[in-house]
Structure formats: structure tokens, C-alpha cells
Amino acid sequence: MLECNDSMKLHPNNRWLVTAILTIALALTACGSNDPGSDEENNTSSSPSSTTPTTPASDEDMASEPLDDGNPGNQSSADMGTSEADMFGQEDMLAPSQDANTSYDDDEWVVRIERVTPLHRPGPDGCLRATSELFAEGMTLDVIAANAYWILVDIENETSDHDRDARHTRGLLARADIEEVARPYALEELPVETFGRVTDAVALHTWSEGGCPERLGLDLEALTEIEVLAKFHDASYKGWVVTDRALTLAPVRKIEADGMPFPWEAAVQLVKAIPSGGFVTGGGVLIGPKHILTAASLGVDETFCYSRAPKTELSLETLALSCNRIEKVTPHPRGVDLAILELATPEPGPHATLADTSPAPDTTFYTTDFSTLKRGALRDGTIARVGSDNANCEEWPARSTFASKEMLVSPGDAGGPAFQKDTLIGIVHGLACKRDGGEPSHLFINIAEMRDFIDAVLADSVTP
């Protein structure tokens, strides 16, 4: 039986907080009824409460760290862990206060808006920007992840039930504008939404007080398994994925995750072993379950193999090769550096979406740097012009190629894809024929102008 005295105190980290509060409340009520001096009609009770301190966000405009990947480290999963104290910027965090009219499950993480506040999302530089979406005082939201300054929240959209991403609006709130009302004691026990892996060495970041990505000093090696809680990216897929509940960030271009396919994952590595040693490599892209688009100049035939796995070493053993699968090769009839490979058995998606409009000069795109033998190694370019330039000094059809302003193409890149957003706009051709001296342009086959050829081959392959 509980004794009535002034020494009863509840430790803020007691795992049985709710039970303890109820028990104390009953005990105090009992004590009050046994006190001869108590007045039942005028008796008032008070319950212990606690609030979560918040750290005001700064308006300081911090420069964004580059989205590049750093050097691989040797951190274990234990090294990557973040304690609750580190995560919330204080050593002894009080237990979250409970809404008097609401009960929450042990695995719920909920915040309540203290004042009208905007939702934030990252801009092109990776820094968080306030949107026009405002949340009213008193509104409660589910939390996905948080650090000392920012909280990633999830708002379910009940009108969109066909697409998981469309069903949820995800963004960030300044911690200064919210109150935490429910939080699990063991955040690592919250359900994992999506598993993923790092395709190349990455440097981990988080959003700083000023809202810009700030390097944590932790790196992940290629093929490290991670959690993927949310993703943010621009049209060129520059951006971040959130990899844990402490709001740790990894570059979205270096992540492959279940249920979150990215356009460049339609790319394949084409490989042919050389009997005398070594191998020939090039790129290609799946444009359907049984067709790969590539450069005709690679000379692909039935002896070539292909791989869809991210590569980390210059070794055939690491390529996870599919061999004896190419049944037919159809080159472009007018000599354009383009060929379509037909497969014996279908490959699952993602498959590339083909452009039907030529890219405009001065627009940006990105391409896979296949010379690294890593599908997720991407380079960014700008369209210089659309024409018929080619490496062979030949007369090709009008608008059959486009050139980049940047030097993007390396040996081993031929046949690889070029994308605008999630649309395949080009296949890597190579260097332009050097007619006038100077640095030659880097050229790509213009997919939009090749659609008649591509569509005819695809249609013919399904004709009985």
C-alpha cells in the first residue's frame, strides 16, 4: 500500500510513466480523503506535468555542404547510433507531456502545434525552405524522425489511395514551434518502413539549426544496409533520403531502396569477357521487360552478359552477371549509334520511360558514369545543341543527336542513359567528329527522334 508523503517523485525516464501517474493520482486522492482537514467540495487536485524544451531555429543562412559522398569509413552500426540525449540536444530530457483528452499507444510519436507554423522542405541547394502550407495551433501530427532543431512529420492524404508516396505529405517543422505529446522510449523499436542499401561510399549529414545540410563526420561504405524513412529530391534527383529516426541524411543518388525505384535503376552494365584476359564493358537501359537500348558501336551480340547490380570493384565476380539471355540484336537501319537487344526472358522493372519531345538547349540532364562500373554514379550536364553531329563524321538523320556543354563521356560510358527527371532522353554515343580543332563535344543519341525505330522494333517483337 502506498504511503502519503511528500517524498514521492517520478523519474522522468521511468518506462512505466503512465501507470505511475495513474497510481500516484489514486494514492493522492486516497490521502486527501483520509486527511481530517480536507474539504471534499473545495478539494482541487493537480497532476504532474512536463514539457519538452525546444531549441529556437536560427535565421542564419548557412552554406550547404556539397551533396558529394566523401570517403568511405569503417563505422559499424553501433558507431552510427545516436542517443536520445544527442538527438534532442540535451542530456536529461523530460518525459513527454500527455494530452489530457487523448491517449497514445506506446509506439506512437506525436507532436502538437503550439503556434501557426509553416511546413518546410529542402530547396535545390538542400537547405530547408518554408512552404505555403500552414498548420494551425493545436493540430497534432505524426513524427517520423527528429534532431535537435527539426522534426520530420507525416500528414496522410486520404484522397490518394493508389500511390504510397501520394498518400503522404512529408515535411519538416521547426522544433521551436511544436510540443511533443507522445514519444516511444525506444525509438529503434519503431517499425522499419523500407530497407535500402548504399550503392557507393557516402558522407552522412543532418539539417543544421539554420536548415542546411551539415556533415556529421560519419561515412558509410558501399552496400551498407540502411533504413529509408523519406526522400526529398529535385528534378535532377539531387537531394536526400532520411536513414534513421535521428534525421540522418544520405544522398538520394547513392541509395537503392525497396519500393522506391529511381530512373537510373533501369540501367544495366553490358559485359563481354575477353579470352586473353579482361573484359569489354558498356552501358544500356531497360526500356521494357524484354528489351535493352544501347549503343550499336559496342558490338553487342549473344555472347554478351549484363548486370543490374551496383558495382564496387573492377571484377567480373562482383557484377552479378546474367548470361545467355540476349536472343536478338537490331541496329538502327541508317547507321545511327543505337541498337535494341531482345531478351529471352523478361526482366522486372523499373523500365525507362522514353522521351517523345527533343530536349531544348540550355536545359539540364544527368547521365550515368558507367566508366566507374557503378550504376548510381551520376554526372550532370546541360544541353548545348540538338543536331546530327557524330563521332564518325557521317551524315546522320537531322536532330539524331544532342551535345552537352560539359565533358561528361569517358571510355566505358557508351550505351548508358541520359535522363531529364524520370524520362530517358539520350543514349551515350561519344565524342563528336573533330572537324575544326578544339575540344570535341560529348554526344548523346536523341531518343525522341528515334521513336519510330524503337516503337517499330518493340511492336514487331510482340507480333505473333
> What's the domain count of the chain?
3
Contact 219, 200 (CB under 8 A): no
* Nearest by Cα to 20 from 45, 48, 43, 51: 48
Do 209 and 175 share a structural domain?
no
Residues 456 and 308 in one domain: yes
322 and 174 share a domain? no
What pLDDT is stored for residue 93 in this prediction? 29
Cα torsion angle, 318, 320, 325, 326, sign = negative
Name the least confident of 34-48, 210-224, 276-290, 382-396: 34-48
Distances (CA, A) of 393 to 29, 262, 338, 406: 94, 35, 16, 21
The 10s digit of each residue's pLDDT in 336-365 is 999 999 999 999 999 999 999 999 999 999
Dihedral angle sign, alpha carbons of residues 83, 86, 87, 93: positive
Instruction: Give yes or no: residues 429 and 456 share one domain.
Output: yes
> Which residues face 190 on adjacent strands?
none
Strand pairing class (178-182; 110-113)? antiparallel
* pLDDT, tens digit, 9 for 90 and up, residues 430-462: 988 876 566 678 999 999 999 999 999 999 887
Q: Which of 231, 261, 291 is the last residue of a domain?
A: 261
pLDDT at 103: 55
Claim to verify: residue 172 and residue 281 sit in the same structural domain: no
Instruction: Give the mean model confidence (pLDDT) for residues 148-175.
Output: 74
- For residue 155, name the pLDDT band (cuts at 50, 70, 90): confident
Q: Is the pLDDT of residue 131 over 80?
A: yes
Domain for residue 384, yes or no? yes
Final residue of a structural domain among 189, 222, 237:
189
97: CB partners within 8 A, 6+ apart: 49, 50, 51, 52, 179, 180, 181
Say if 350 falls within a structural domain: yes
End-to-end CA distance of the chain: 84
235 and 272 fall within a common domain: no
Residue 226, number of CB atoms within 10 A of its CB: 24
Same domain, 240 and 273: no
pLDDT digits (tens, 9 = 90+) for 44-76: 333 333 333 333 333 332 233 333 333 333 333
Q: What mean pLDDT is predicted for residues 115-134?
A: 94
Residue 294 domain flag: yes
Q: Which residues form the domain of 339?
A: 264-461
As a whole number, mean pLDDT of residues 25-38 equals: 41
CATH code for the domain in which residue 324 is found:
2.40.10.10
Residue 406 lies in a domain: yes
CB 269 within 8 A of CB 294: no
Q: Which of 190, 233, 183, 188 is nearest to 213 (CA)?
A: 233
84-93, 157-166, 397-406: lowest mean pLDDT where? 84-93
In this predicted structure, what is the pLDDT of residue 102?
56
Q: Is the pLDDT of residue 43 over 50?
A: no
378 and 269 within one domain: yes
> Averaged over 393-414, what is the pLDDT?
91
* C-alpha atoms less than 13 angstroms from C-alpha of 147 in its C-beta half-sphere: 24
Same domain flag for 345 and 429: yes
Q: Of the candidates 171, 133, 134, which has an alpha carbon nearest to the alpha carbon of residue 151? A: 171
> 128 in a domain, yes or no?
yes
Shared domain check, 439 and 314: yes
What's the whole-model pTM score? 0.72
Q: What mean pLDDT is predicted for residues 278-295?
A: 91
Specify if 65 maps to a domain: no
Give the pLDDT band (50/70/90) at residue 313. Answer: low
7 belongs to a structural domain:
no
Q: What is the mean pLDDT of the chain?
A: 76
Cell of 195: 530497407
Mean pLDDT of 251-268: 89
Sheet holding 195-198, edge to edge: 225-227, 195-198, 255-257
Task: Identify whether the C-beta of residue 365 lies closer than 8 Å to the C-beta of residue 434.
Answer: no
Residue 73 lies in a domain: no
Question: What percent of the chain stands above pLDDT 70?
Answer: 70
411-426: average pLDDT = 93
Q: Are residues 415 and 291 in the same domain?
A: yes
Determine contact, residues 212/127, Cβ cutoff 8 Å.
yes
Which three cell numbers, joined as nine digits, stand for 386?
540538338
Domain edge (last residue) among 189, 206, 235: 189
Same-domain check for residues 306 and 419: yes
Helices (H) and strands (E) in the chain, counts: 4, 29
What percent of the chain is predicted at pLDDT more than 90?
Answer: 49
Per residue, the 3-state secondary structure of 155-218, as one string, reads EECCCCCCCCCCCEEEEEEEHHHEEEEECCCCHHHCCCCCEEEECCCEEEEEECCCCCEEEEEE
User: Measuring CA to CA, which residue among 378, 365, 377, 354 is closest to residue 455?
Assistant: 354
Range of lowest pLDDT (205-209, 394-398, 436-440): 436-440
- Whether 270 and 294 have beta carbons less than 8 Å apart is answered as yes
